[in-house]
Each structure stands twice: as C-alpha cells, then as structure tokens.
C-alpha cells in the first residue's frame, strides 16, 4: 500500500485536490480588502499600551513583527516585564512579574482566514451559532454584541488577563475589575480611555458610520479594528508553496518536492496538518513536554490540561489545537509552550513523542532565568508521575524517517514561508494617539 501511495505522490498530485486549493480573498473574513480606515485604527490600537491596565504593554509586545508576530520566548513575559523579544526581562522590585504567561505567544499569520473558527491554543473562543452572540467564550453569554468575527472576539480577552495585559489586583482599576470577575467593567474602563483621547475619537468616527461622538465608542469597535488590522497585515498566502498550488511547478526545488511528498504521504504529517493552511483545526495530545507555570489546572495549579478545561471532557486532557504551518520556519520556539528551540527538534518530537517527552527535562531552559519562576516552570516536567500521565494520552505513533528525509521535510516547511508577510517592520507606527512609548 505504501508503494502505491508513493507512486501516486511521485506525480506531485496533491493528496486531496479539493483540499489543497490556492487561497483567495473569499477564504478570509472580508470580501476583497478590509476597511482600510478600520485597519489603520486597529494598527494604532495594536501597538498602543493604552489598552493595558498599567499602560505598560500592548498587543504588539508579545506579537511583534520583529519576532515574526510572536516574542521569541518559550512562554511569554506579560504585564510587568520590560523590553521586547529575547531582551524582555521579568521586571524589577515590586513591579516584577508574579508569573510568566502559561503558553507561547501564537503567531498571527492567516488567523483572519475564514476556516479559523476557534482561537487560542485550547480553542476557548470559537464560533458557535447556538450562543446568543454567536461565539463560545470563557464568559458565556456576557460577551458584548457587535463583534465582526471570532478574531475580534479573541482580541478582547488578553486585555482582561492579569498576567497578559490587565495587571495585578491593587495596581489599577482595570485589574481590580478583573479581580472582581467583572470583565464588562474592565472593558468599560478601557473604552473610556479611548473615548477621552481626541485622536482616537477622530479615527473612530472616520472608521465607523455608527460612531458620531466619543460616547458611542464601544469595546466591540476596538476588537473589530484590531481584527481588521491583523487580517490585512499578516495575511500570508504568497509563499512558493502557494505558487505551486497555482500551477507553477518550478516554484519548488526537487528537495522541497520530496518533502512535499513525505508531508502529504508516508510521514503522516498531513493527518493533522491538513489542507492548504496545514491544519485540521482540531485538538490533539502529542505528549508535548510541560514547561511553564501551567494554567491553574491539577491539584496544585501548575498543570495545563488544554482542551479539557474548555469542554469539561476528560478525554480532551492535554489536547491542543493543531497550528497552521505557514511561516513555521520563522515562528519559533515551537509548541503550545515553546518547548522546542528548533523546528528540527519539534519534527523529531513528532516522530517519537514519548521518548522525546522523557528525554526533554535535562535540556529544558526558560529564559530569562529567575530562580523562583524556574522552580514553578519546571515542576510538572520534573515529575515522573506527571510525565507518565502526559505520555498516556499521546495520540501519535512512532514514525521512522532517515536524516535525509527529515531535511527534505524541513525544506518543504521552509517553502511555506511568505517573505512579504515576514517583512512588515515598516508597519510599526512611530507614535500612537495616547502618546505612550511604542518601542520599549
């Protein structure tokens, strides 16, 4: 049977012609181009620290184009840290962070595509027509009306996360509202900041017909603008692989074509990384090493149960969303908690996951190091009992590939890179309407 598959793939006919189609404007949340005024407004909001409780962090801090829409860290350093990317530290003195963010900052490439109906590593914000506001979220029917798409809904939640953007109880009024489990009050406080900034009022009036004055500005307008910017700025469908899908056979090298054959054939990669964006949008347990502070799960709060915490179904423990692989060669560290520093190491893990899980602990490093944080961040991976629990849920089978085949796979993954989308540093504004610093 493998021989038949290999012969079939040797002709370079995609495994499913219906599945592997070139992306077009209709594959995204907009028809044609998004509203440019909304996108420009969203650009300022994305880079402006005005939306954080202590006015010291923006969306871009953890999703910066200089770091391929991530931050280059295994697990993010959110509110309370300073600097960008690998230079970001954990803060000092009373303002030092209490905990790292529990997961890796996800890249933003193509998250505006229509097929993305669930976001975050555990899919906790997702399209659900049965819900009053058409989205299933951690706050249920308390989500405000008027959000354009799931990406806009997702954009609201980092704003009310204590470790990401809100800050700690007692530090500011937004953090205090979050501590009281009153996200609407927290969002209203952020609305007022935008309403009281004249340049934002002008931009909002120009972008939205329903806004005539400052008091009309709502948190949904903020989320919709950030989503419009993200869709436009980080659409990535001009890779050499896309050219190949559009009929340019010469766009891939012979080595990349062999990697393509492996990816959609004998390696089994496409069983989960399917379709033109290389994701089935489902959730899988692949025995990924557990590093970082966790998500408050387990008997001591240091574990991350993934999808189970969303569905309540024990069979979903340690399952995480299959990521798209667009620009994957540039978006490390890899894994829902950035467990792997190299893409080759991540590939090796998929080939022998349980062995990789058990061998991992000796090489684990989370930077920047801080002894009190490190003690928590290595706790689960250092426990044989907990590693065995993670291993018991593994869904992947061992796959044997030669060193040459692994290099061919990596070559194909590099062909998924869209140079245009990776060159957007020029889109960083020099200043933002709040007047807060952009670069630090």
Nearest one of 344, 363, 351, 342 to 289, comparing CA atoms = 363
Distance between CA atoms of residues 193 and 210, nearest Å = 19
Question: Could you tell me the residue range of the domain that residue 214 belongs to?
Answer: 33-235
- Clarify whether residues 106 and 193 are in a common domain: yes
Listed range (43-52, 171-180, 416-425) with the worst mean pLDDT: 416-425
| pLDDT tens digit sequence for 380-422 | 999 999 999 999 999 999 999 999 999 999 999 999 999 999 9
Is residue 67 over pLDDT 70? yes
Q: Which two tokens stand for residue 64?
A: 């910066």
- Clarify whether residues 224 and 335 are in a common domain: no
Is residue 325 over pLDDT 50? yes
- Clarify whether residues 15 and 133 are in a common domain: no
Kindly list the distances between the CA atom of residue 387 and the CA atoms of 289, 365, 438, in Å, as whole numbers in the listed order. Answer: 8, 17, 41
Tell me how far apart the 2 most distant CA atoms of the chain are, in Å. Answer: 67
In a domain, 437, yes or no: no
Please name the helix (run of DSSP H) or strand (run of DSSP E) that holds residue 36, with its range, or none.
helix 36-47
Are 353 and 359 in contact by the 8 Å Cβ rule? The answer is no
pLDDT of residue 30: 60
pTM for the whole thing?
0.93
- Clarify whether residues 166 and 297 are in a common domain: no
- Clarify whether residues 260 and 185 are in a common domain: no
* pLDDT band at residue 23 under the 50/70/90 scheme: confident
Which CATH number characterizes residue 381's domain?
1.10.760.10
Nearest one of 184, 396, 177, 204 to 288, comparing CA atoms = 396
Q: Which two tokens stand for residue 164?
A: 């990401």
Are 31 and 287 in contact by the 8 Å Cβ rule? The answer is no
Q: Which two tokens stand for residue 206?
A: 């120009």
Are 165 and 52 in contact by the 8 Å Cβ rule? The answer is yes
Listed range (5-9, 136-140, 182-186, 273-277) with the worst mean pLDDT: 5-9
- Clarify whether residues 121 and 54 are in a common domain: yes
| pLDDT tens digit sequence for 197-240 | 999 999 999 999 999 999 999 999 999 999 999 999 999 999 99
Distance between CA atoms of residues 150 and 224, nearest Å = 10
- Clarify whether residues 133 and 188 are in a common domain: yes
Distance between CA atoms of residues 207 and 116, nearest Å = 25
pLDDT of residue 32: 55
- Clarify whether residues 227 and 112 are in a common domain: yes
Domain boundary among 186, 220, 235: 235
In a domain, 203, yes or no: yes
Please name the helix (run of DSSP H) or strand (run of DSSP E) that holds residue 320, with its range, or none.
strand 320-321
- Clarify whether residues 210 and 296 are in a common domain: no
- Clarify whether residues 98 and 164 are in a common domain: yes
In a domain, 428, yes or no: no
Nearest one of 371, 396, 271 to 5, comparing CA atoms = 271
Domain boundary among 175, 209, 235: 235
Are 163 and 97 in contact by the 8 Å Cβ rule? The answer is yes
Length of the chain: 440
pLDDT of residue 133: 84
pLDDT of residue 95: 81
* pLDDT band at residue 31 under the 50/70/90 scheme: low
Q: Provide the number of structural domains found in the chain.
A: 2
| pLDDT tens digit sequence for 263-299 | 999 999 999 999 999 999 999 999 999 999 999 999 9
The backbone torsions φ and ψ at residue 405, rounded to the nearest 5 degrees and listed phi first, read -65, -40
In a domain, 148, yes or no: yes
Distance between CA atoms of residues 233 and 225, nearest Å = 12
SS (H, E, C) 126-163: EECCCCCCCEECCCHHHCCCCCCCHHHHHHCCHHHCHH
Domain boundary among 174, 200, 235: 235
- Clarify whether residues 345 and 394 are in a common domain: yes
Beta carbons within 10 angstroms of residue 92's beta carbon = 10
Between 14 and 418, where is the model more confident? 418
Cite the beta strand spans of 160-316 per DSSP E: 283-284
Beta carbons within 10 angstroms of residue 138's beta carbon = 15
């Amino acid at each position: 049977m493998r021989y038949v598959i290999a012969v079939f793939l040797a002709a370079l006919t995609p495994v499913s012609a219906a599945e592997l189609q070139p992306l077009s404007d209709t594959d995204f949340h907009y028809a044609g181009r998004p509203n440019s005024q909304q996108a420009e407004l969203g650009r300022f909001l994305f880079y402006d620290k005005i939306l954080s409780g202590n006015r010291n962090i923006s969306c871009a801090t953890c999703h910066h184009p200089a770091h391929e829409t991530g931050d280059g860290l295994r697990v993010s350093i959110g509110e309370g840290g300073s600097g960008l990317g690998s230079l970001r530290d954990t803060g000092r003195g009373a303002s030092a962070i209490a905990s790292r963010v529990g997961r890796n900052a996800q890249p933003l490439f193509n998250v505006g595509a229509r097929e993305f109906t669930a976001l975050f590593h555990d899919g906790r914000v997702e399209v659900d027509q049965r819900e009053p506001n058409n989205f299933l979220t951690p706050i249920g029917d308390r989500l405000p009306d008027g959000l354009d798409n799931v990406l806009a809904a997702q954009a609201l939640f980092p704003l009310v996360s204590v470790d990401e953007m809100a800050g700690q109880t007692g530090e500011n009024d937004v953090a205090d509202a979050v501590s009281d489990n009153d996200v609407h009050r927290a969002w209203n406080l952020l609305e007022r900041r935008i309403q009281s900034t004249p340049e934002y009022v002008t931009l909002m009036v120009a972008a939205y017909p329903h806004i005539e004055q400052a008091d009309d500005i709502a948190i949904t307008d903020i989320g919709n603008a950030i989503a419009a910017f993200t869709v436009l700025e980080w659409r990535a469908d001009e890779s050499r692989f896309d050219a190949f899908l559009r009929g340019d056979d010469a766009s891939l090298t012979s080595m990349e074509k062999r990697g393509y054959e492996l990816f959609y054939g004998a390696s089994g990669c496409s069983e989960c990384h399917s379709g033109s964006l290389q994701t089935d949008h489902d959730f899988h347990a692949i025995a990924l090493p557990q590093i970082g502070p966790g998500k408050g799960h387990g008997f001591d709060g240091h574990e991350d149960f993934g999808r189970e915490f969303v569905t309540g179904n024990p069979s979903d423990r340690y399952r995480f969303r299959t990521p798209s692989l667009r620009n994957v060669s540039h978006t490390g560290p890899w894994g829902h908690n950035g467990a792997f520093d190299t893409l080759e190491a991540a590939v090796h893990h998929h080939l022998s996951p349980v062995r990789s899980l058990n061998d991992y602990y000796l090489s684990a490093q989370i930077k920047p190091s801080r002894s009190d944080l490190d003690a928590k961040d290595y706790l689960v991976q250092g426990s044989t009992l907990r590693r065995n629990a993670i291993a018991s849920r593994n869904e992947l089978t061992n796959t044997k590939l030669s060193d040459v085949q692994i290099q061919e796979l990596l070559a194909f993954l590099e062909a998924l890179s869209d140079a245009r989308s990776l060159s957007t540093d020029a889109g960083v504004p020099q200043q933002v309407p709040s007047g807060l610093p952009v670069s630090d």
